[in-house]
Each structure stands twice: as structure tokens, then as C-alpha cells.
Amino acid sequence: MAFFKALGDWLWGGPLLAAFLAVGLWYSFGSGFFQLFGLPVWWWTTVGSLFRRGKDRKESRGVTQLQALSTALAATIGTGSIAGVATAIAYGGPGAVFWMWVSAFLGMMTGCGEKILAVRHREKGPDGRWRGGPMQYMAKGLRLPGLAKLFALFCVAETLVGGNLAQANSIATALSAAGGVNPVTAGVVLAVLTSIVLMGGIKRIGGLCELLVPAMALLFIGSGLAVIAANWQAVPEAFQLIIRYAFAPRAVAGGYAMGGALRYGVARGVFTNEAGVGMSAIAHACADVDEPAEQGMWGIFEVFFATMVICTVTALVILTSGVYDPVRMLPLAEGGAVPGDMLGAPLTVAGFATLFGEAGEWIVSVSLILFAFTSLVGSGYYGRRGVETLTSARWAQALYLLVFPACAILGSVGDVAAVWQLVDVFNGLLAAANLPALLLLSPEALYLLRTWLAGQKKKQGNCAEPT
């Protein structure tokens, strides 16, 4: 595993960090920083539409925009939102949170571009349902089918590793710690449930995620805000730590350097919102929508919610509850000797326990289980689409539907400490294929965005005219 660790450190140590920020800046400048100045538009198009859902609804073989968003969030808001943020703070310091915000702010427009292109270049599958994503806009938009197949191969690998082994292990660990459930039993039940959901296709996955994602988000956010409110006096200091360590030279108290904060902040931010990685665009391509740019608004909201909201709540719980000390943590992190109770999910649990006691472990455990399970089924759909791109052979689809649940069992009972190194590698490889495609197709994506916005302004102008 030393090779994969070295490869992951190289990918995320410079080249990819620059690429993510550069593509995000390109789309931000090209759109006039629409994620900021167009906030009323994308907020009304997404959150506002939830209050208008009964209007103009029609039967479709696709999924609703909310179901597409929920499926995408299901595959992104997983262990990264709970364990990943805690790990980023432990190894990168409080400043990692700032760079997580920066990557998310720029990633909002990267995510917007991905979703626009996914809808623009999608196609009808044999079942009559929409399908698309990076594989389609690479093959049809760039006319590079080889790159599309390479992305599909990385996609299949990532769904089996980060989308499966890591998530299954998190579920089994949480069930064992909270309820004493045998990992083998947890793995078998998880494999059965996952198979049932995946065999139902995108409609069943979207319906399940539409139910679970809002519930798990409310539970986690509500409980987290309660912890932050109970420690409100520490909130200003937490923000000071985040800003100070984001630009700190190693000599600053605690010793965390800006490089580590940047590396872990961007890497974990990308893992939670996937802006630039491309896989969440696969879910958005299935949405029942006519205008590509309209789905792009959901791409902006997805990144905002996954990182700016969920991850920020996790970070502030850790930093305000008194369970984390940067001065004490750095030597342990540098020596690779961070105790298990101060790393990942246990650190988040400790923060919740300061207010809820033993119930805090249950809150985090239930949230983690729901997050991880929805991530599991969402990733399973992405993997199936990757296999479809690689080959049309039915035996390959059947094999994947057997291997995926088997990996859930393996992840539940095995030691997956090294899996996170593979997660960084495969996410990096996916991004290395997707980011150049987004850059090359940016004129088309930005043109579709500007055209749609002009149409929206025209509609508003007509509505404002006296009758």
C-alpha cells in the first residue's frame, strides 16, 4: 500500500489541488461568480421549487429533480461528512476547514457545469430512461470515447472501494459499537438490502434517497446545531482558529502548516461534494428536466449543502466542544500515532457527547449508518452505469450485481484502514480525467447557462408588464 499512499500524496499534493481550484475559478469568472451574485436565482430554482412541487407534475420514467439531487447527495454525504471532516482537522489542522470552504465555493460552479453538460449530452437507454454523465459528455461532446471508457473504469473501481468497502465498514463499526451487532450479520443484511434496492434501478434508488436524505440531514444538522448553541461562546474562537491556521507557517502555535491544511481541506471537501470528480452528474442526468442549466442550479445547491452546511456543522461541533486541541494533536499526527478515539468518527462522537452524553454516540451512529447506506446504494448505481459504458454484455452487469454486495460483506468484516488511501487515488484519477473535459467543454456549458438566465429574465420582465 506504500505505492498507493505515495501516489495519493503526489496527486493531492499539488497537481490536482491546482486543477480543482483552476477549473472552479474558470467557471466562476466565466459566469460572473454566479454562485454568489446569482444566489436568489439558484436558491429559488432549487429550494423554492420544493414548495411548488404539486404544480405541472407529470408522469415520467425518469426521476424528479429532488430525487436526482437526493441520489447525488446520498452518494456524496457519507462517511466523509462525519469521519472525513474529523480526519482532515486532525491531520491538516483547523485551517483545513477554510480550504474546504474555498474548494466548495469554487466547486459550486464546477458542479453546475457538470450537471449542465450531463443533461445536455444524455441519451435514452434501452429501458427508455435518461442516462448520462461524464462518460456521455466525453464521448459525445469531446468525441473521445477512449477517455469515456477510462473514466468508466475508474468509476467502477471507486464505487467498489470508497463507495462500498469504506461505507460498509463504517456501518458495521457503528452498529457494533452502538448495539453490539455482529459485523458478519451486519454485512449479510447490508448486502441483501443493497441488492434489493439496486435491482429496482434509478427509480427505486431515487425514491429511497428522497425519503432518507432529508431525514438524516435533519437529525444530524439539528443535533449539531444544538451542540454549537450550547458552546456558543467558543464559536468566535473556532472561526479564529480556522482562519489563522489556514495561512499559518509551521512556526505558528500548534505547528500546522498551510500546505497540510490545503491538502486535506481540498481533498476531503472534494470527497464530500464530488465537484470535479464527476460521478454525481450521473444521477443528475436522470432528472426529468428540459433545460440543462436548470439542473445546473441543483448542482450548485448540492455542493453548498454537502460542504457549506453538513461539513461546517461537523467542524464546528469538534472545534467548539473542547474535544480537540491543535497543540496536542500535531505531534501525534506527524508521528502517525493519533489514538483511535481522536480520529475520524470517534472524534465527532466525542463532540456530540459533550451535550448528549451516551445519546451522542447514538445520534452520530444513526446518522453515519443512514449516510453510509445511502452512499452505498448511490455508488452502486454509478458503478452499474460505469459497467454499461465499458461493455453491453449482460453477464458483466450480472457480475457487478454479485460483486457489489459481496464487497459490502467484505468491508463489514475486514480491516479497511488502507482503503482510504485507495479512495484518494481513485477520486484523483477520476478528477484527472474529468477536469480537462470540463475545461474544454466550458464554452458550451457557460453558453447554456447564459442563455437560460436570459430566458429567465425575459420571463420575469413579461410577468412584470401591466395587463
- The CATH number of residue 232's host domain is 1.20.1740
Q: Is 467 within the bounds of a domain?
A: no
CA 93 to CA 83: how far, in whole Å? 15
In a domain, 375, yes or no: yes
Residue 209 near residue 374 (C-beta atoms within 8 A): yes
Q: Within a domain: residue 1?
A: no
Contact 110, 24 (CB under 8 A): yes
Q: What is the pLDDT of residue 57?
A: 46
How do residues 234-285 score in pLDDT, each as one tens digit? Answer: 999 999 988 888 876 554 444 455 666 666 677 667 767 778 888 889 988 8
Task: Write the pLDDT tens digit of every residue in 29-74.
Answer: 999 999 999 999 999 888 877 666 554 444 455 566 676 677 667 6
In a domain, 369, yes or no: yes
- Spatial separation of the C-alpha atoms in residues 265 and 259, rounded to whole Å: 10
Q: Where are the alpha helices (DSSP H) in 93-200?
A: 95-120, 134-136, 145-160, 166-179, 183-199
Kindly give, in sequence order, each residue whose CB lies less than 8 Å from that of residue 34, ignoring residues fewer than 6 positions away: 28, 41, 42, 109, 112, 300, 449
- The pLDDT value recorded for residue 417 is 60
pLDDT confidence of residue 377: 82
Asked, for residue 18, whether it belongs to a domain, the answer is: yes
Q: How do strand 123-124 and strand 130-131 relate by DSSP bridges?
A: antiparallel
Q: In which domain, by residue range, is 374 found?
A: 8-42+61-451
Q: Which residues contact 53 (CB under 8 A, 6 or more apart)?
A: 64, 66
Positions of the chain with pLDDT lower than 50, given as ranges: 55-59, 251-255, 466-467
Residue 203 is assigned to a structural domain of this protein: yes
Which residues have CB under 8 Å from 441's CB, separation 6+? 113, 117, 137, 141, 142
Residue 52 lies in a domain: no
* Exposed/middle/buried for residue 444 (C-beta within 10 Å: 0-12, 13-18, 19+): middle
Cell numbers found for residue 109: 460552479
Residue positions counted in the chain: 467
Q: Nine-digit cell at 350?
A: 466525542
Q: Total domain count for the chain?
A: 1
Residue 33 exposed, middle or buried by CB count within 10 Å (0-12, 13-18, 19+):
middle
- Is residue 458 in some structural domain? no
Residue 287 confidence (pLDDT): 82
